[in-house]
Amino acid sequence: MWNRGNEIERATEGTCEWLLKHESYINWAAVTKGLLWIKGKPGAGKSTLLKYALSKRRDIPSARDDDVVLSFFFHGRGDTLQKTPFGFLRSILHQALEKAPEALSELVNAYEQKCKIMGNYPEKWQWHLEELWSLFESSLPKILEDRSLWLFVDALDECGEAHAKYLVQKFKSLLERLAPLPIWVHFHICFSCRHYPILSSPGLFEVCLEMENKTDISTYVQSELDLSSFEEPTPSVIQNLIISRASGVFLWAQLVVNQVRSLDQDGAGPNKIEATIRSIPESLHDLYKNLILGMESSSLKLIQWVCFAMRPLSTKELRWAMVIDARYPSLQECQKAEDYIPDSRRMGQQVIKLSRGLAEVTPGPDEHVVQFIHQSVKDFFTDEGLKALDDRSTSNEMAIGMAHFQLSRTCIRYLKMEEISQSASYEGRELEADFSFLHYATTSWVSHLQQSDAMDVPQANILELFKWPSNEIVELWTRVFINIEEYSEHCPPTETTLAHIAARYRIVGVLTAILASDSQVTINFDSKDGYVRTPLSWATENGHEPVVKLLLDAGAEVDSKDDNDRTPLSWATENGHEPVVKLLLDAGAEVDSKDDNGQTPLSWAAENGHEAVVRLLESFILS
């Protein structure tokens, strides 16, 4: 979670120094409680500047060595905790606990109390976002009793516009709450974000990067571009052309510098280089469009993985993800394939070649991972670029759905490899050591299938892939999942079937495919898993109305009981799913059924404060 800050390159020598003399920065540093917004276009260098500001905090006159300094770098291409407010709060609370443990006693007490009552974290319970905010807010007056607090937050836009605005509002609220504290109490927040419509307020200072960084771009271009083989004025003309066309976007200058280097190494003359620079579009999106022209099919596969993997893949994982194919029944056969990449070094070279430099290998917490060079690249592919690469797609939404479709199939095919089935009983660590893509394939194929189904991609071939009506592949997946992540909330119980998975995760296309199959086997939607739960039980708990309707229409037992004697209606009422409750009641569900604790659907709804469901049940009982 903390690795992103290390990935951001240090500022080129001689750049960013203007910030320390900028009026907004000086005024922000001088007030006792202030908010500094570093804003700019995508690729303007906001992250580099914020990292520079963090490194120069000690030079501020009011700064002291014992100040509490917290930082978080949002990462839109990272895992969930790297790109959500929840991950941000967990990180800064952890940092605060290390630096000011006496101020976080309320957090520690809450943790210990929850563990005592509910069991171990995270197997038995989870923190909630507003709960963590409350704990952070309550710790601030204690931290600020004898120390100043500095909070640096990079790339708010990489958690999404809605979340970015939410966090800025929270920052403002924190400062407003602390405003009445004495003037010797210092609390400064510095954040970077794109040009979102954020309302000004007292104590909010702004630095617009593209209005200030032309000199920095000039310094960078001159330091990175060696054109000494050309006579003057050619080097100056080329450098000035790049600087002027960059329009304040550092990333544009960086990509063009790389192209000029390549042309120079190939022996291109100055006129050719100058003409190429002039032909490059000035917007990043249009530049990316030019770069992907003529990409090969392997490039599409790579882009799909980098863009839509549930987390960044390591080079080891990506090597297998790129080679798995329906033609190969075993990993040994995959290794004989022409496009098999035998080591991570060559994989890194392929990443650069296939992506045209838009993806890279970067250090991860454990291994090197593959990701796009910038969030704007991912934005480009999700907005329009993917459709341009995939001629089967009629819209970008369809291209995204097809990407998840392909990734789900790759994961399932990996699980079906002969070597996996022969080793499924191994211990988790041994399995993961022997099969580097196994953890991802096991824990992520359902999510990819879910995403593709949500975009209306037909799932007909899923039955053939799983050898349906045999449950052999699902049983194999269940065994592997239990071995590698038994305590995950998504770990399936034994005796899970494909119908259970589809019902639990609202994959309507799979259930539709089962109903439409030509199999002579009787379809049993009342099969029970290791928790004695039916597909309908899972669908009602999660409020999947279309799935519930489909199962009821197919004749699923409405009052089936699980190992705690809970019915589908009991699960639906506990979670407040009013439309699902109505469907069950209309199907004849027993409204007064009791579980093994003596609770009825009505008591579950009342206990959890679901007033609309309570009224619906009471009305049904009275009628």
My answer on whether omega of the bond before 122 falls inside 30° of 0, hence cis, is yes
Residue 142 has pLDDT above 60, yes or no: yes
Residue 236 has pLDDT above 90, yes or no: no
- Distance (Å) of CA 285 to CA 349, 357, 392, 451, 466: 24, 14, 22, 25, 40
Q: Average pLDDT of the chain?
A: 91
pLDDT band at 65 (very low <50, low <70, confident <90, very high): confident
pLDDT in tens, 90-109: 999 999 999 999 999 999 99
pLDDT in tens, 23-44: 999 999 999 999 999 999 999 9
Residue 548 has pLDDT above 90, yes or no: yes
Answering whether pTM is above 0.85, one says no
Identify any residues that bridge with 361 across adjacent strands, giving them in sequence order: 370
One-letter amino acid of 130: E
Q: How remote is the C-alpha of 318 from its chain's centroid? A: 17
pLDDT in tens, 562-575: 999 999 999 999 99
Cβ contacts of 296 within 8 Å, gap of 6 or more: 354
pLDDT in tens, 408-459: 999 999 999 999 989 877 777 888 888 999 999 999 999 999 999 999 999 8
pLDDT band at 460 (very low <50, low <70, confident <90, very high): confident
Q: Quick one: pLDDT at residue 269?
A: 87
Q: Quick one: pLDDT at residue 482?
A: 94
Q: Quick one: pLDDT at residue 198?
A: 67
Q: Quick one: pLDDT at residue 200?
A: 64
pLDDT in tens, 487-504: 888 999 999 999 999 999
Summarize the confidence of residues 145-152 as an average pLDDT.
Answer: 92
- Other Cβ atoms less than 10 A from the Cβ of 120: the count is 10
Distance, CA of 345 to CA of 118 (rounded, Å): 46
Residue 56 has pLDDT above 70, yes or no: yes
Residue 340 has pLDDT above 90, yes or no: yes
Helix (H, G, I), strand (E, B) or coil at 116: helix
- Distance (Å) of CA 553 to CA 271, 468, 515, 568, 569: 71, 21, 11, 15, 16
Q: Quick one: pLDDT at residue 3?
A: 61
Distance, CA of 249 to CA of 412 (rounded, Å): 42
Q: Quick one: pLDDT at residue 607?
A: 93
Q: Quick one: pLDDT at residue 234?
A: 72
Nearest to 35 by CA among 46, 44, 24, 45: 24
pLDDT in tens, 246-299: 999 999 999 999 899 888 888 888 899 999 999 999 999 999 998 898 888 889
Summarize the confidence of residues 78-93 as an average pLDDT.
Answer: 92
Instruction: List % helix, strand, coil for the chain (3-state, nearest 5).
Output: 55, 5, 35
Distance, CA of 529 to CA of 514 (rounded, Å): 18
